[in-house]
Amino acid sequence: MTSQRERLKVLSAGIFSLLLTFGVARFAYTPLLPLMQQQAGLGLAEAGWLAALNYAGYLCGALVASLIGDLVLKDRLYRIGMVVAIVSTIMMGLTADPWLWMASRFIAGLASAAGMLLGTGLILNWLIRHNHRPELGIHFAGIGLGIAGCAIAVGAMSGGLDWQQQWFAFSAIACLLVVPALAWLPAPDTSAVTKSGVPLRDNPPSPLFLRIFMAAYFCAGFGYVISATFIVAIVDGLPGLAGQGALAFLAIGLAAAPAAFNWDLIARRTGDINALILAALLQIVGIVLPVAVGGLYATLLGALLFGGTFIGMVSLVLTMAGRYYPTRPAKMMGRMTLSYGVAQIIGPLIVGGLAERLGSYAAGLYVAAGVLAVGTALLVILKWVERRDAGALSMAGQGA
């Protein structure tokens, strides 16, 4: 019983860290963006730069995470990242200077990487060492709860608070979230065995498996970022749906909250790669529904499918990375996230250009769905590579 209580406490530390670094530091910007454009004079180009710098900060953080093997250093940087998340949020309300906003968004991206990669790696390492099932579904609920919470909070505050006051309100929330995020995550254990004495050994995949896996995850990142970046503008621009973009954003967050936990259960029955293929197929449907069918109900169903799959795919991929490298999970997590993150920079540039040329985002959504379909095909190939590698390993074991 005590063991389960400790497990829930550690997973809760992860939830609060993601609520802080993603929900507040990163995603509060999305529902506050229209208000900042109305009240603070934030231009379209500047808004794009702020989003791009946030992705750039996240990528830099992923690169750092991929290079660090020392658990103690990871823990220290994770804790610094939690404080940086608060600072980045306060900075947004202190000034209307676009340069300081850009600095804020960049360091918010760094903080997001600390929560997503360093925190996730530390939690997965703790679970494996304490002989718990190495699954992160409960932990990743923090992202969906953060998205939904931000949408609800901005909706509730917009009647009485201006954009600056809302940023300060989010700063106060951040100061509350940081306490369990820091206090409930124990210092890392650096021993080479689990609590039951089983040695911790890395079992890395083959180079071919890793290359195909990274390419498939790049495609997933491309499919994710288009809806995540443009969903409010897409929905608001559809016939009869003006002003419904915020509702679709809320639907994404609500669907994302339990999604990673649900996909953990699915993966237990089907296997990780089969679960990824199923999630990708459902996400393709979710991406194209708003433009292929149209109407509020189809749009909300698409948002629910999207929210219910994108975080599940991230959770499954990062969990797999941690299983391959239990002694240093953030290293492979960082490499996979770099692949996913590069797509997040390229995707909006391509789709934004298409939208400007064609006058709508519809073509961009079809492109995103097409790229994700390529990624799904790569996952099917990955199943064959996994079987081939397992066969080769078995033959090598028999030969020994």
* Segment 358-395, tens digit of pLDDT: 776 677 888 889 999 999 999 999 999 998 888 776 66
| Residue indicated by tokens 């609500």 | 254
Exposed e or buried b per residue across 145-173, where buried means at least 16 C-beta atoms within 10 angstroms of its C-beta:
bbbbbbbebbeebbeeeebbebbebbbeb
Region for 378 from its dihedrals, namely left if φ exceeds 0, alpha if ψ lies in -120 to 50, beta otherwise: alpha
Task: Report CA Rg, the chain.
Answer: 21
Q: How far apart are the C-alpha atoms of 7 and 186, rounded to whole Å?
A: 11
Exposed / middle / buried, residue 140 (Cβ in 10 Å: 0-12, 13-18, 19+):
buried
Q: How far apart are the C-alpha atoms of 157 and 396, rounded to whole Å?
A: 63
Stretch among 18-22, 177-181, 201-205, 356-360 having the lowest mean pLDDT: 356-360
Angle between helices 44-67 and 329-358 (to 10 degrees): 160
Q: How far apart are the C-alpha atoms of 281 and 268, rounded to whole Å?
A: 19
Residues in the chain: 400
Per the CB < 8 A criterion, the answer to whether 204 and 70 are in contact is no
**What element of type H or E holds 87?**
helix 71-94
Output the DSSP codes for 285-315: HHHHHHHHT-SHHHHHHHHHHHHHHHHHHHH
Residues 6 or more apart whose Cβ sits within 8 Å of residue 13: 119, 123, 180, 181, 182, 183, 184, 185
Per the CB < 8 A criterion, the answer to whether 16 and 184 are in contact is yes
Pick from 114, 59, 132: which is nearest to 326 by CA?
Answer: 132
Q: How far apart are the C-alpha atoms of 155 and 75, rounded to whole Å?
A: 35
Residues 6 or more apart whose Cβ sits within 8 Å of residue 169: 153, 157, 161
3-class state of residue 378 by DSSP: helix
Tell whether the model's pLDDT for residue 193 goes beyond 70.
no
Is the four-CA dihedral 306, 311, 316, 320 of positive or negative sign?
Answer: positive
3-class state of residue 198 by DSSP: coil
Q: Is the pTM of this model over 0.85?
A: no
* Segment 161-172, tens digit of pLDDT: 999 999 999 999
Pick the more confident residue, 266 or 322: 266
Compute the average pLDDT of residues 212-235.
85
What does the mean pLDDT of the chain come to?
87
Q: Give how far Cα 182 sits from Cα of 76, 115, 328, 363, Å.
A: 11, 11, 20, 44
For residue 380, what pLDDT is reported?
Answer: 97
* Segment 98-135, tens digit of pLDDT: 999 999 999 999 999 999 989 998 998 899 888 888 77
327: tokens are 């002694």
3-class state of residue 196 by DSSP: coil
> What domains sit in the chain, N to C, each tagged with a CATH number?
1-185 (1.20.1250.20), 199-400 (1.20.1250.20)
171: tokens are 């700063």
Tell whether the model's pLDDT for residue 397 goes beyond 60.
no
For residue 2, what pLDDT is reported?
Answer: 56
Exposed / middle / buried, residue 280 (Cβ in 10 Å: 0-12, 13-18, 19+):
buried
